[in-house]
Amino acid sequence: MKTKLIVIGLIENENNKFLISQRSDPKIEEAHLKWDFVGGKIEFGESPEEALKREVKEEAGLNVEVEKMIPICFSKVWEHEEYKLHVMVLCYFCQAIDGELKIGDLKIKDLRWIEKDEFSKYDFLPSINLFLEKINFFKN
C-alpha cells in the first residue's frame, strides 16, 4: 500500500480557456482515458505550489502562476494490478504565463484547451468532478 499527495492545476490561458489532459494508464482501468487536470506528485521538500509549477512544465511545457487553492481535498484508494494506492489531491487555480503546449509524459494521451461551458462534455476523473462542482463550473 502506498499514499501519494497529488497537486493539479485548473489552468486558464489568455483566451479564457482551460487546459485538460487525457490519461493513458491501462494499469488503472477506472482512470484510463479519463480526463484530468495537469499535475502530479509532490516530491520530498516541495511545497504544493512548487510541485505544481514543476509538474505543469514537465507534463505540458507551460509555465504557470499559481493563484489560489480550491478549498477541498479529494481522497481515493485506487486498485493497481500490483498494489493499492491511496491518493489525496489538491487543486489550484493557475494562469498560463508562457511556454509551448506539448505532451511531456507517457501517462498523458492528449492535451486540450476548452471553454468553461464544455466541461460537461468530457468524462473526467471523480476528483475533477468534485473540484468543478465545488466551484460551480457546471452551472452557467
Q: Tens of pLDDT along 56-94?
A: 999 999 999 999 999 999 999 987 777 888 999 999 999
Residue 51, pLDDT above cutoff 90: yes
Q: Which residue has the cell 510541485?
A: 51
Q: Is there a contact between 119 and 138 (Cβ–Cβ < 8 Å)?
A: yes
**What superfamily would CATH give domain 2-134?**
Nucleoside Triphosphate Pyrophosphohydrolase (3.90.79.10)
The torsion region of residue 24 among left (phi > 0), alpha (psi -120 to 50) and beta comes to: beta
Phi and psi at residue 25, in whole multiples of 5°? -145, 75
Is the pLDDT score of 140 beyond 50?
no
pLDDT at 38 over 90: yes
Percent of the chain having pLDDT more than 70?
97
Whether residue 95 is predicted with pLDDT greater than 90 in this model: the reply is: yes
**Mean pLDDT of the chain, nearest integer:** 92
Task: Give residue limits of the domains in the chain.
Answer: 2-134
